């Protein structure tokens, strides 16, 4: 058995970096060359067709059939020049991965003739079988068809020999079965609501884009070692493995130098990313050994989400070329830092202004405060929903662990902005304020940019932190599709901005001056949202107690976190803002529960299999060696036999005890699994997996990891943590 491990180690140690041909050109010359973006469109489309795509991109105007034909044929011509022979609609089903179904650019005319073909109808719509994707019961067999429909706001691109067209994915009956559909709707809602509020400050604002800059963390493991770990292969994380003697305690990995093999991999995927128009910019080591991060420049949120999904795919493929496997799992190694995907979020206007960045005048700063405080209020009122948006079986392993953001939602804003809000509460008076009071207030608001300039306040333990000109949602999991968090965040902010506008308008109608009306409402929001603001250490035990005292929830598991998705208040919220219908939301809830159950079920099987097929047999073989050794000692040792064989006997006994415990708990776990599998209701089934099956993981692991320390290293079947994490 151990042969697998040692072969893998030998292979790993002999690796050389794969040679990456650096393009001779500058980055600016390769950037977006594989994207059918504005430049390519200008070149390949008639001006009429170009305008119609731009109209669709910027104003959501429908593209008519004739134009679609033109766009399709231009797209094909462009893609063919890049060597593409096939096309696919590229979409994001709720599996969390991306999906594609490739078709060739041709149509047979008869047995001997074919023509190159790609028309408007192929561009605009395709019909993959929806029954093969999670659909939460939205379909019965005769409605199994689903549609993919072109999303012109995200440009088509070529990967390898395939033209990929970003699309939404909906059921035959029109319900969203993907991440993109509700995301686009949520972004539309926040655009509309924010534009309305902007009118108080600047009439030139006609469009507000949510912006997203994600930071993707990941681990790399040599592919040979990866292949020798059935748990990594099946579940994406190690279910066993004792932490190595050297973990993170020396803190020597973060921002350390990047090993050559890893650097070659990074260069390779970055080149591919840049060609795809993904503005990848930052790379560095992360805190844990073999952990890294990359981040692009932020973009409009829909595009940023597509780019993240696309890049994860590119990274996975590139890693394999470099004899690595990439781990996007939130917690691949116990006792070692997990991975997240920080979502930096803000709102940007068509006038080039970041609404979460203070300006130079009291007026622009009042605008800043408006969006800043409304976001806080939205998060305060819908903290549970935000928590649900990041819930997954894999993120459960990370949230609340002592180096990850806690499952308690709170916001960090820094001491200076806290002071600004306190002052606002103290100084804004109900009823009419004197001119002096107003001037004093304006003067203070005017000072905000200076405050933020030297604001070096950073809190790495907050799940939702303000970082100078944007909020950073840090609890998003590294394997997640950011759309899930972005749908919720943009929807709750849209909703909040609508409420705000209503309240301010009501005061203005009563004759209150506009600025005063805004300040009065903001003051109330600050008071109402106070409990969500937290500046201390989010990883501490005291915070857990303090949060409970404040009435903030600490929802630890996915099945519980998801409940709020089908709460009456939520269903209404999504429906009112036209983001999702009740049916869509309920289907999604079922899908998420099913995903959870399946993930835990797979982990549980992997644990059982490895424990029974690899660990116990290895431990017993080693024990047998010891028993033989004891028998040998008995023959030669005479009077000193007892003393000499004592250590052997201790190990023999410990192995027997641990093996018995493992066996007993695997059996009990399988029993619980059988019971859980009989449950029909998705929620109850997920709860059974969470509360009845999952608790066995720890006790089995504890005993297996103890055996790892005890059994002859030469016999141990699984690559160990020190091998997975330290061999470059
Ligand atoms: P840090 O000090 O955390 O590295 P950066 O300014 O480099 O801060 O930003 C980190 C991330 O935030 C990057 O991915 C960046 O693109 C993103 N970001 C910056 N400004 C915005 C914005 N206005 N909207 C969304 N994301 C942004
Ligand atoms: Mg960050």
Any idea which ligand is nearest the CA of 308? 1
Q: What are the pLDDT digits (tens) for 600-653?
A: 999 999 999 999 999 999 999 999 999 999 999 999 988 899 999 999 999 999
> Same structural domain for residues 29 and 154?
yes
> Same structural domain for residues 168 and 277?
no
pLDDT of residue 268: 94
- Which atom of ligand 1 is the closest one to the Cα of 296? 14
- Which atom of ligand 1 is the closest one to the Cα of 214? 14
Check if 354 has its Cβ closer than 6 Å to any atom of ligand 1: yes
Q: What are the pLDDT digits (tens) for 378-387?
A: 999 999 999 9
Strands 99-104 and 324-327: unpaired
> Same structural domain for residues 567 and 606?
no
pLDDT of residue 251: 60
> Same structural domain for residues 198 and 121?
no
SS3 721: helix
> Same structural domain for residues 570 and 684?
no
Residue 365, in any domain of the structure: yes
> Same structural domain for residues 476 and 329?
yes
> Same structural domain for residues 601 and 534?
no
Residue 600, in any domain of the structure: yes
CA of 298 to the centre of ligand 1 (A): 6
Check if 295 has its Cβ closer than 6 Å to any atom of ligand 1: yes
Residue 30, in any domain of the structure: yes
Model confidence, pTM: 0.94
Phi/psi at 597 (5° precision): -55, -45
- Nearest by Cα to 124 from 208, 53, 35, 54: 53
Residue 5, in any domain of the structure: no
> Same structural domain for residues 84 and 219?
no
pLDDT of residue 247: 64
Residue 390's domain spans which residues?
187-580
Q: What are the pLDDT digits (tens) for 292-330?
A: 999 999 999 999 999 999 999 999 999 999 999 999 999
Residue 418, in any domain of the structure: yes
CATH of the domain at 669: 1.20.120.1560
CATH of the domain at 132: 3.10.20.70
Among the candidates 156, 177, 198, a domain finishes at 177
* Residues near 635 by beta carbon (within 8 Å), at least 6 away in sequence: none
Residues forming a β-bridge with 107:
115
Among the candidates 552, 580, 608, a domain finishes at 580
CA of 470 to the centre of ligand 1 (A): 7
Task: Flag whether pLDDT at 141 surpasses 50.
Answer: no
CA of 344 to the centre of ligand 1 (A): 6
Long-range CB pairs of 720-723, under 8 A, 24+ apart, other chains included: 720/241, 720/242, 720/244, 721/238, 721/241, 721/242, 721/243, 721/244, 721/333, 721/336, 722/244, 722/245, 722/246, 723/5, 723/9, 723/12, 723/225
> Same structural domain for residues 192 and 170?
no
* Residues near 162 by beta carbon (within 8 Å), at least 6 away in sequence: 84, 85, 86, 87, 88, 100, 102
What is the C-alpha to C-alpha distance for residues 290 and 509, in angstroms, rounded to an integer? 60
Q: What are the pLDDT digits (tens) for 171-189?
A: 888 889 899 999 999 999 9
Taking phi over 0 as left and psi of -120 to 50 as alpha, with beta for the rest, 162 belongs to: beta
> Same structural domain for residues 27 and 118?
yes
Among the candidates 534, 557, 580, a domain finishes at 580
> Same structural domain for residues 173 and 217?
no
Number of domains comprising the chain: 3
CATH of the domain at 284: 3.30.590.10
Residue 458, in any domain of the structure: yes
> Same structural domain for residues 286 and 157?
no
Residue 8, in any domain of the structure: no
Residue 299, in any domain of the structure: yes
CB burial string 222-239: b at 16+ within 10 A, e below: bbbbbbbbbbbeebbbbb
């Amino acid at each position: 058995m151990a042969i697998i491990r040692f072969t893998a180690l030998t292979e790993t140690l002999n690796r050389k970096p794969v040679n990456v041909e650096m393009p001779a050109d500058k980055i600016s010359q390769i950037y977006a060359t594989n994207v059918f973006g504005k430049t390519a469109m200008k070149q390949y489309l008639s001006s009429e067709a170009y305008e119609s795509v731009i109209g669709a991109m910027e104003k959501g105007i429908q593209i008519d059939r004739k134009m679609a034909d033109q766009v399709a044929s231009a797209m094909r011509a462009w893609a063919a020049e890049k060597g593409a022979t096939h096309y696919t609609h590229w979409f994001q089903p709720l599996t969390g991965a991306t999906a594609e179904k490739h078709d060739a650019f041709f149509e047979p005319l008869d047995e001997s003739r074919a023509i190159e073909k790609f028309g408007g109808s192929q561009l605009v719509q395709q019909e993959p079988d929806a029954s093969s994707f999670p659909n939460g019961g939205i379909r019965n067999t005769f409605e199994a068809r689903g549609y993919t429909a072109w999303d012109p706001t995200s440009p088509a691109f070529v990967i390898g020999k395939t033209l990929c067209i970003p699309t939404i994915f909906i059921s035959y009956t029109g319900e969203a079965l993907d991440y993109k559909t509700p995301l686009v709707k949520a972004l539309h809602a926040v655009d509309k609501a924010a534009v309305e509020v902007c009118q108080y400050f600047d009439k030139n604002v006609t469009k507000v884009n949510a912006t997203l800059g994600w930071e993707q963390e990941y681990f790399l493991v040599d592919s040979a070692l990866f292949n020798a770990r059935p748990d990594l292969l099946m579940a994406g994380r190690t279910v066993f493995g004792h932490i190595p003697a050297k973990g993170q305690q020396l803190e020597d990995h973060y921002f350390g130098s990047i090993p050559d093999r890893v650097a070659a991999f990074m260069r390779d995927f970055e080149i591919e990313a840049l060609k795809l128009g993904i503005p990848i910019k930052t790379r560095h080591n992360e805190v844990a050994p073999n952990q890294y991060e990359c981040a692009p420049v932020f973009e409009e949120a829909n595009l940023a989400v597509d780019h993240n999904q696309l890049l994860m795919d590119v990274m996975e493929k590139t890693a394999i070329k470099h004899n690595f496997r990439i781990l996007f799992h939130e917690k691949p190694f116990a006792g070692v830092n997990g991975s997240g995907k920080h979502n930096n979020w803000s709102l940007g206007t068509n006038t080039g202004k970041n609404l979460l960045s203070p300006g130079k005048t009291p007026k622009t700063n009042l605008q800043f405060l408006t969006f800043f405080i409304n976001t806080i209020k939205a998060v305060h009122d819908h903290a549970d929903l935000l928590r649900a948006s990041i819930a997954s079986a894999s993120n459960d392993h990370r949230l609340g662990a002592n180096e990850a953001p806690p499952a308690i939602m709170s916001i960090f804003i820094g001491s200076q902005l806290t002071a600004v809000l306190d002052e606002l509460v103290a100084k804004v008076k109900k009823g009419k304020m004197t001119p002096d009071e107003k001037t004093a207030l304006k003067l203070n608001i005017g000072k905000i940019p200076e405050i933020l300039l030297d604001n070096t306040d950073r809190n790495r333990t907050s799940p939702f932190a303000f970082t100078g000109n944007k909020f950073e949602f840090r609890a998003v999991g590294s394997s997640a599709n950011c759309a899930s968090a972005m749908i919720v965040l943009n929807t709750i902010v849209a909703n909040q901005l609508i409420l705000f506008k209503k309240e301010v308008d009501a005061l203005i109608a009563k004759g209150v001056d506009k600025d005063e009306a805004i300040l009065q409402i903001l003051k109330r929001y600050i008071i109402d949202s106070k409990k969500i603001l937290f500046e201390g250490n989010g990883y501490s035990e005291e915070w857990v107690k303090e949060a409970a005292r404040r009435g903030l929830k600490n929802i630890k598991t996915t099945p519980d976190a998801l409940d709020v998705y089908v709460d009456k208040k939520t269903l209404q919220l999504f429906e009112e803002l036209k983001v999702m219908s009740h049916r869509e939301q309920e289907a999604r809830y079922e899908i998420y529960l099913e995903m959870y159950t399946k993930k835990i079920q797979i982990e549980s099987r992997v644990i059982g299999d490895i424990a029974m097929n690899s660990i116990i047999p290895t431990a017993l073989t080693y024990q047998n060696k010891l028993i033989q050794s004891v028998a040998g000692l008995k023959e030669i040792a005479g009077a000193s036999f007892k003393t000499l064989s004592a250590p052997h006997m201790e190990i023999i006994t410990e192995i027997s005890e641990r093996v018995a415990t493992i066996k007993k708990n695997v059996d009990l776990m399988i029993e619980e699994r059988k019971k859980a599998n009989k449950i029909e209701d998705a929620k109850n089934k997920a709860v059974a997996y969470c509360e009845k099956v999952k608790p066995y993981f720890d006790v089995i692991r504890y005993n297996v990891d103890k055996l790892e320390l005890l059994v002859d290293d030469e016999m141990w079947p699984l690559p160990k943590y020190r091998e997975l994490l330290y061999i470059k």
